[in-house]
Structure formats: C-alpha cells, structure tokens
C-alpha cells in the first residue's frame, strides 16, 4: 500500500495514468486478506486507505470519457461493506483495539448508500459514540436533506411532498468535508432531477402568473458551478430556456408537460 500510494500514485503524471494499475493491485490486496481470513489492524488500515482512494477517483476522473463511475462505485461499496464487517468483528474479538477512523467511514457508508432503507435501519443500531460523532451527525443531516419524494422508482411517495434540495446544497457547501462532497457529487444528478420535478409540479400550473425561475436563482439553489453548467443540465433534461433581448438564457420555463421521467442522471460536473 505504501508503494502504491507513495511511489506509483505520487510519481504518475496524473491520477488517471496510474488508476488501472492501482485499482487492480488494491483489489488483489483485498482478496489476499479475504483468502487469509485476516481482519486485524493492517486489514482495516489498508481498506480505509483504499476506500479514500476510490472516493477521490470518483471526483477526479468523472470527466474522463474512459472512466467508469459504475465500476468505481462498485469497488467502493465492496470496500466499505468489508470495513463495516471488520469493525463489527473487532468489537466482538477477545482483544479489541481502538478504531480511530470508524466514524469517518461509517459516514461515507451512509452517503454511498444514500437511499437504502436497510442501511437506514443499520445506522439506527450504531453505538452512541459513533452515532453522535461529528462526521456521522453531519452526514446523517446531509443524507436526510438529499432524500427526494418524487422518485417514481420508490413506492408510496408523493409528487407534492417538499424536497429540501436548497438546504442540501447550502449545508454541503458550508459543512461537508472534501471526501464527503466527492461521494455526494455522484448523487447530484438525482437530487437536481427531483428539484426540477418539484418546481415543475409547483410552477407548471396555468393559474400561476409566474412559471419561470431565473438562471441565477437556480444556479445558487441547486449548487451549480456556473450558468453554463445549469444550461447543459436543462438542455439534457429537455427544460425550456427563456432568452433575453440579446439571446442569452435568463430563466427556465417550467411546464407541467415537461418530460423528466426516465432520464438517466446528468451529473453536470
């Protein structure tokens, strides 16, 4: 691990140049621990370092056309699930030792499985020192704000229920750590799609005088980097733009018949 991250990664031209090599070697290291059935301190430390690497890659390589976010997320899920088992076994062992980073990685686990109800039930059983730790409280709040009630793939949800997307992006900017933001970035497309659906439901009514929202408000509300990023997302989702006198986008028009269902999530990074 020291060689991979201290020599190979730091000595490469960029993170993508060494990504395939490090990904394959770290997977072999994990398999080695599994074959040897070893879950001690070294196994935990290695898995924690590998998890951080995969989280970093999710952000740094997301714009690379040859990068597969799905495969990277799959590896991250496996690493985190192994870590959760290691933490549990350590506490039950005859010689338990202090798990200094457990709260940090429990928080990543909660964010990776953002809308998993089984994970929600697991989080409720955490010991108080973990549940009420700063990383967990911060991520539990972000996790709750990221839930959307207008996802057609979720049963028993209401189209008219409020979605707290504005507070989510505001709290993300003010409180999340860098790696927490890297994980949550993979959910931006889903959260923004839910936000647009909520706005369409609220504003796409003939009786309302105002059924459009300025691009400046939406950029701030939905955490976009700039207007261009917002426009790219709106074009992808088929939202209608309102232009000013010189032909520049000034607002987004929300109509009830705007087809937002069935769209793959656009990350807009």
pLDDT one digit per residue (tens) for the chain, 269 residues: 999 999 999 887 789 999 999 999 999 999 999 999 999 999 999 999 999 999 999 999 988 889 999 999 999 999 999 999 999 999 998 888 999 999 999 999 999 999 888 998 999 999 999 999 999 999 999 998 988 877 665 554 544 445 789 999 999 999 999 999 999 999 998 889 888 888 888 876 655 555 888 999 999 999 999 999 999 888 888 888 888 888 888 999 887 777 776 555 655 55
SS3 235: helix
Question: How far apart are alpha carbons 193 and 237 in whole angstroms?
Answer: 8
- Classify residue 114 by its DSSP letter: T
Q: Where are the domains of the chain?
A: 1-97, 192-253
- E strand or H helix at 250, and its extent? strand 249-253
For 66, 91, 106, 147, 214, the CA distances from 132, given in Å and listed in that order, are 40, 18, 12, 21, 39
- Counting Cβ atoms within 10 Å, is residue 81 exposed (0-12), middle (13-18) or buried (19+)? middle
Question: How far apart are alpha carbons 214 and 192 in whole angstroms?
Answer: 16
For 139, the token pair is: 């991520």
CB 76 within 8 A of CB 51: yes
């Amino acid at each position: 691990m020291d060689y991979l991250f201290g020599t190979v990664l730091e000595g490469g031209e960029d993170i993508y140049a060494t990504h395939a090599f490090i990904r394959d070697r770290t997977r072999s290291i994990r398999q080695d621990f599994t074959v040897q059935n070893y879950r001690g301190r070294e196994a935990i430390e290695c898995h924690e370092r590998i998890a951080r690497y995969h989280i970093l890659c999710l952000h740094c390589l997301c714009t690379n056309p040859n990068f597969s976010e799905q495969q990277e997320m799959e590896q991250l899920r496996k690493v985190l699930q192994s870590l959760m088992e290691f933490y549990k076994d350590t506490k039950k062992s005859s010689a338990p030792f202090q798990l200094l980073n457990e709260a940090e990685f429990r928080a990543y686990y909660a964010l990776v499985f953002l809308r998993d109800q089984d994970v929600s039930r697991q989080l409720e059983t955490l010991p108080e020192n973990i549940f009420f730790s700063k990383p967990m409280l911060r991520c539990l709040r972000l996790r709750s704000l990221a839930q959307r009630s207008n996802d057609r793939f979720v049963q028993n949800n209401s189209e008219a229920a409020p979605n707290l997307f504005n507070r989510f992006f505001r709290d993300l900017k003010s409180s999340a750590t860098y790696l927490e933001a890297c994980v949550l970035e993979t959910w931006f497309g889903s959260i923004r799609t839910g936000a647009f659906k909520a706005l369409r439901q609220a504003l796409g009514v003939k009786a309302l005088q105002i059924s459009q929202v300025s691009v400046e408000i939406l950029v701030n509300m939905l955490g976009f980097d700039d207007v261009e990023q917002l426009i790219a997302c709106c074009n992808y989702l088929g939202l209608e733009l309102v232009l000013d006198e010189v032909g520049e986008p000034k607002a987004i028009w929300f109509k009830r018949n705007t087809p937002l269902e069935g769209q793959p999530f656009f990350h807009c990074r």
